[in-house]
Amino acid sequence: MSERTFVMVKPDGVQRGLVGDVIQRIETRGLKLVALKSVDVGRDLAEAHYDVHRDKPFFDDLIAFITSGPVVAMVIEGPNAIKAVRGLAGETDPIEASPGTIRGDYGLDIGRNVIHGSDAPETARQEIKLWFEESELLDYERVDSPWLQE
């Protein structure tokens, strides 16, 4: 079943020039780009996005990090898009992430793990609503879709 997920290249990924690589992995997997923009994240947006982690010891560092430079925000669509993107990203801690995943290829530190991807359908809906206006979400078919799905 086709679903949408929210994906963000975090400030470390932008500063390290990894945006193109991340988008390429998503595109070549067969997932569709529904929306894409760069954002200078303010404190309110950062805190709303990571509200679930408010009580964690790393919350302040996480907010400081995510507001430290531009991010690239995306909405991605496809069959099992949430699981597919989480698989491309790899484990939260890059040291645990398999080589071949984004975090496993580019990260060493849990506080600098390059990418965010929604973890469930309800959080995906909330995050897409938080980051994008309805009018920013594109409605189109990829021309190769018959070659990607039976």
Distance of CA 146 to the CA centre of its chain: 25
Indicate whether 92 belongs to the interface with ligand IDP (CB under 6 A): yes
Active site residue 49: no
Q: Which does 62 bind (CB under 5 to 8 A by kind): Mg ion, ligand IDP, none?
A: ligand IDP
Choices 12-20, 34-42, 110-118, 133-141 (CB under 6 A): range interacting with ligand IDP: 110-118
Phi-psi category of residue 5: left, alpha or beta, with phi > 0 → left and psi -120 to 50 → alpha: beta
39, 136 in Cβ contact below 8 A?
no
DSSP string, 20-50: HHHHHHHHHHT-EEEEEEEE---HHHHHHHT
Indicate whether 120 belongs to the interface with ligand IDP (CB under 6 A): no
Q: Whole-angstrom Cα distance, residue 39 to residue 69?
A: 9
- When the beta carbons of 21 and 119 are compared against Mg ion, the nearer one is 119
Q: Which does 110 bind (CB under 5 to 8 A by kind): ligand IDP, Mg ion, none?
A: ligand IDP
Q: How far is the CB of 79 from ligand IDP (least distance, A)?
A: 21
First to last CA, the chain: 12
Indicate whether 104 belongs to the interface with ligand IDP (CB under 6 A): no
Q: Whole-angstrom Cα distance, residue 106 to residue 25?
A: 13
Indicate whether 110 belongs to the interface with ligand IDP (CB under 6 A): yes
Given the rule CB under 5 A, which residues bind Mg ion? 119
Given the rule CB under 6 A, which residues bind ligand IDP? 53, 58, 62, 92, 110-111, 113, 116, 119
